[in-house]
Amino acid sequence: MRSRALAVILVLLSGLLWAQPARAEVEHPRQKWMRDSTAGLFLHWGMFTAPRHLDCAAWERDVTGGGWTADYWVDEARKLGASYIVLATFHSRLGYARPWPSKIPGSCATERDLLGELVAAGKAKDVRIILYMTDDPQWHSEQGVQTLDSAAYSAYKGRQVDLTTRDGFGMYSYDLFFEVMENYADLAGFWIDNDNAYWEQNKLYEQIRERRPSWLLSNNNEDTPIMDTVSNEQKTGMTPSYDYPQAAWTPMPRLVEADYKLPTTGQWWYDGGNHPVDTRLSTGRYITNAGSSMKSLMAETPMVNGRFPPQQEAFNDFMAGWVPPIRSSLYGTEGGGYMYGGMQPGFWNDGAHGVVTVEPGARTQYVHVVTRPRTDHVRLRDNGYWVTRVSDLRTGRSLRFHQSAGHLTILGVTDWDPYDTVFKVETAGQRFYHDKIRATAPELVDGNFSTYWDNKGQLPISTTLDLGHRRALTSLAVNQREWSPTYARESFGRPEDSARVKDYRVYLSSDGKIWGKPVRTGALPSARGVQFIDLGEQRARYVKLEVLNTWGGPQAPRYHRQLQIDEIKVAYAHPFSVGPAAPLEAEHADRAGGARPDLCRTCSGHLRITGLRHGTLTFDDVTAPEDGTYRLQLDHTSGTDTSVKVAVNGAAPIEVPVKADARDVPVATALAVPLRKGANTIVLSASAAGIDRIAVAPLPPASQVPTTTLTVEPGGLQWAGPGQQAIKVSATLRLDADDQLDQVRLAPAAPQGWTVQGDPATAATLRLGQTLSATWTLTSPPGQDVTPADIPITAAFQVLGRPAQTSKQVRVRPRPADRVWMREAEDSVNQLGSAGITGCGPCSGGQKVRNLGGGPDAYVLFENVSVPSAGTYTLFADYTVNGPRSFFVTVNGGTPVEVRVDGVGNNTPYTTRVPVTLGAGQNTIKIHNDTGSAPDLDRLSLG
């Protein structure tokens, strides 16, 4: 969108996360400088920077005496390639310090105008300054002293104001916004850490727009329509770990930041330690964010004198030399494979992973190989771009390449950068996609990524494309809306999951009435960027895509059964290069007997080898760098179930099953084979399949765990009553990525004395998206009460001949004698609405439910609350809270009862008691607050 940033575009955009804006200023000329940027520098710095200061004047003396200069921060930002600095001193955990002289009393303010000096230094060197503002007063006495002066502010306002309340703090900070706007015209905007109701009621943001129309507004962890930027804070848990965009949930063209700490350990602010910076992780984030049109907002931890700890300075110096040779691929570019065009990012061949950036128009693209393949070539989907030249951006050296069957293969790479090898790919543009297509969902073919097809929760669902008349077609290119993470996760207590296509079917028709059997069935990976459904060589007028299900699970209601697709393109051919061949093409191997070449326009090199029932195909140029076991991939076609015999270096052949698929769409099967150093011979025979190519690479590291999802219910700590108990346990294993699983077995391991009713679930293989499920009844030893037990539910399998497993536990504990019923808030049998589960070490079971209250949809509903007789019981609610809050208890749909609580620290469990009247047998208890924020809930019990 940098190519369009000179236009004034107001986009009507719905479906952004948390809020659904009616008229969001998604694109605006004031954003141009940030859209043109790649990164920013996030600085948390204040009174409580180590060594902490409890007196504002003493802190300022040490800042000045230590030699603080604004130019140092600006220069360090420039080393990182950062175009802006976000200064976080008015921070709830850093003493609410204001680094500027203020006429408004209420918290620490300096006499020296540090903010003004920083703004001036940044302006002189083209680095913009954005001021952080918090909405949160709850940490006002965290250090044992009061950092908010309600009396002074009350005297200033001429009325009583309690700054420790959200309304009072909202009024105080509201005044500060206007003071800053008045005094610092060259500031670039505000970075706002969540909203305050007082600001919203008094139209703060609208007034900022009116007074400072060129300033940007950023909001943390939510999408507010009036804001320019959505910021995503410290996302972790991705595979690979550096691929930060996998956890993002805001679709382009929304301006998005990725906020993350550069120090690997420690706080967001300087805590006294010289913490290391993981160069691999940090550069990977920097590159993958750029490849997704996200801004890297990198947090460093300045000391009291403003300087960074040595390891952070060293990283900045490294970046100052590492980025410039590839600067053209990061500045003035957008993420490739999305709305701006470009080849497909993500996982490539032989363990490779990376992103693509594109110049305006996408004729020139940059392939960033962040994780190099285990071989000397890179193979990725070309998305119809006809490649004319490939070169190494750092060295300028031209590279050989091959293009066919929708793939670009960059050959003979020997000079790999340890963090990002960048290939400049010059193209003649995108070719071979049909135009003038109509669809039952017109948004899919309008070329406009601000409109999209929404299934509105309906599954299965289908859409039909009309090509106008009978035409050739080979594949579909599907751009799904990037409004969800790529995998199930908890983010600040909110459940998230992937709202993307899993299982699909494609039908073809000449008249739109008679469809016949599907020409392709399969599963799409849960991945960002354009995804492809290959159809082989087909002719039809109508194409129907049926989506059977999506990846998102019911634990994340916002994403469950939801689907949004921006665009679908229909290809009728693929670019083809005349230059060097891709390695190990079947048509270049030795044939004997009935083996013969067969035209296959969707195969690599446009040929495959068939006739192996009575013939052989010999690859005698398979080289290995050393003796060992390697991954052999067979790309084959077959319309029926068959097998292929594989013989390596004259050994007895291995029979490899081949599942039926489209008869002229190559699919891959991988196996482990022993190879010796140097040349090896691989012979394929006795098969009805067509062989397109083979590929050989070292095995993935033994430590690499296949990407699976194992769901076990019940989830959460289980409290068992006296006597013998039986627990019903269900489990489902799903393969999310990587090679197929073989010899799969799913079963519980019963503790000593326990019995299991139900057989293990088994499967010969599992492929992408497939599942294996089972249910068992586990019964505790007879004649005694349940004792503590951790029952593992284990999925064991083989991947490329190596054993692996994943496991989850069902944790059982005896209920205390003074309780007649007890259940964790995070138990999977509860309904959570829009609330979510988060870790809590001191809490029972190590988890709690967060984000309760603030609306009618954020609650915990405990169903099947069983008591032996009707009567009044004492409800014990275990919770954590920081400051005064309320929750409501509603029993069996009756009148809600408000319960007011108070506490210090969100990791300190408290207990409150509430009398409740229950009926004999099953009851429901709902914990909620429809108007205000509620405490976090650990568990409920009845005495």
Give the Cα separation of 357 and 327 in Å (integer).
Answer: 11
* Predicted confidence (pLDDT) at residue 744 exceeds the cutoff of 50: yes
- In angstroms, what CA-CA distances link 447 with 27, 322, 442, 572? 17, 37, 10, 18
The encoded tokens of residue 678 equal: 């140097």
Extract the tokens encoding 610: 């068939």
Q: Is residue 577 part of a domain?
A: no
What does the pLDDT read at residue 24?
58
Question: Do 684 and 731 lie in a common domain?
Answer: no
pLDDT in tens, 267-306: 999 999 999 999 999 999 999 999 999 999 999 999 999 9
Q: Quick one: pLDDT at residue 702?
A: 87
Q: Residue 509 pLDDT more than 50?
A: yes
Same domain for 253 and 132: yes
pTM of the model: 0.93
Is the pLDDT confidence value at 513 over 70? Answer: yes
Q: Where does the pLDDT of residue 16 fall: very low under 50, low under 70, confident under 90, or very high at 90 and above?
A: very low
Q: What is the mean pLDDT of the chain?
A: 94
Peptide bond into 51 cis (omega under 30): yes
Over residues 240-246, mean pLDDT? 97
Helix (H) or strand (E) holding 669: strand 667-675
Residue 446 has pLDDT above 50, yes or no: yes
Range of the domain at 781: 708-813
Residue 326: the pLDDT is 98
Residue where one domain finishes, among candidates 748, 779, 813? 813
pLDDT bin (cut points 50, 70, 90) of residue 51 is very high
Query: With contact defined as beta carbons under 8 Å apart, do 826 and 848 qualify?
Result: yes
**What pLDDT shows up at residue 20?**
39
Question: For 796-840, what is each residue's pLDDT tens digit?
Answer: 999 999 999 999 999 999 999 999 999 999 999 999 888 888 889
Per-residue pLDDT, 3 = 36
5: confidence class by pLDDT, cuts 50, 70, 90: very low
Q: What pLDDT was estimated at residue 839? A: 87
What confidence score (pLDDT) does residue 491 get?
Answer: 80
45 located within any domain: yes
Judgement on whether residues 452 and 477 belong to the same structural domain of the protein = yes
- At residue 492 the predicted structure's pLDDT band, cuts being 50, 70 and 90, is confident
What pLDDT does residue 23 have? 46
Same domain, 165 and 59: yes
Percent of the chain's residues with pLDDT above 70: 97
* Domain annotation covers residue 64: yes
pLDDT at residue 725 in the model: 94
Residue 540: how many other CB atoms lie within 10 Å: 22
Residue 279, pLDDT score: 98
User: Picking from 225-234, 643-652, 771-780, which range would have the lowest pLDDT averaged per residue?
Assistant: 225-234
First to last CA, the chain: 61
Q: Is 588 helix (H, G, I), strand (E, B) or coil?
A: helix
543, 465 contact by CB (below 8 A):
yes
- Any domain includes 21: no
Q: What is the dihedral of CA 719, 723, 724, 730, to 10 degrees?
A: -20
Same domain, 104 and 238: yes
CATH of the domain at 75: 3.20.20.80
Whether the pLDDT of residue 390 is over 60: the answer is: yes
Q: Which of 13-22, 42-51, 143-152 has the lowest mean pLDDT?
A: 13-22
The band of 166, judged by pLDDT with boundaries at 50, 70 and 90, is: confident
> Domain of 746: which CATH number?
2.60.40.10
How many Å apart are CA 647 and CA 653, to the nearest integer?
A: 4
Residue 224, pLDDT score: 87
Number of domains observed in the structure of the chain: 6
Domain end position, chosen among 571, 600, 630: 571
Predicted confidence band of residue 875 (pLDDT cuts 50, 70, 90): very high
Q: In this structure, are 61 and 149 located in the same domain? A: yes
What is the per-residue pLDDT across 409-433, written as a single tens digit (0 to 9) for each? 999 999 999 999 999 999 999 999 9
| 2 part of a folded domain | no
Residue 100 lies in a domain: yes
> Contact at 8 Å (CB) between 525 and 480?
no
> CA neighbours within 13 Å on the CB side: how many for 912?
20
Name the CA radius of gyration of the chain, rounded: 30
Tens digit of pLDDT for each residue in 391-415? Answer: 999 999 999 999 999 999 999 999 9
**Do 901 and 887 form a contact (C-beta atoms < 8 A)?**
yes
> Quick one: 216 and 249 in the same domain?
yes
CATH number, position 400: 2.60.40.1180
Report the distance separating Cα 441 and Cα 436, nearest Å. 14
Give the model's confidence band at 843: pLDDT under 50 very low, under 70 low, under 90 confident, else very high: very high
Residue 183 lies in a domain: yes
Q: Are residues 793 and 874 in the same domain?
A: no
Determine contact, residues 889/901, Cβ cutoff 8 Å: no
What's the CATH code of the domain at 510? 2.60.120.260
Across residues 588-600, what is the average pLDDT? 96
The pLDDT confidence band at residue 557, using thresholds 50, 70 and 90, is: confident
Q: Give the strand pairing for 847-850 and 836-839.
A: antiparallel
Quick one: pLDDT at residue 18? 35
pLDDT number for residue 91: 97
> Which of 698, 718, 749 represents a domain boundary (last residue)?
698
Give just the sign of the alpha carbon dihedral 548, 550, 551, 555. negative
493 band by pLDDT with thresholds 50, 70 and 90? confident
Same domain for 93 and 206: yes
On whether both 687 and 806 belong to a single domain, the answer is no
β partners of residue 402: 409
Q: Is there a domain that residue 68 lies in?
A: yes
pLDDT at residue 7 is higher than 90: no
Query: Do 686 and 833 fall into the same domain?
Result: no
Q: Check if the beta carbon of residue 300 is closer than 8 Å to that of residue 319.
A: no
Model confidence at 556: pLDDT above 60: yes
Say whether both 837 and 809 belong to one domain.
no
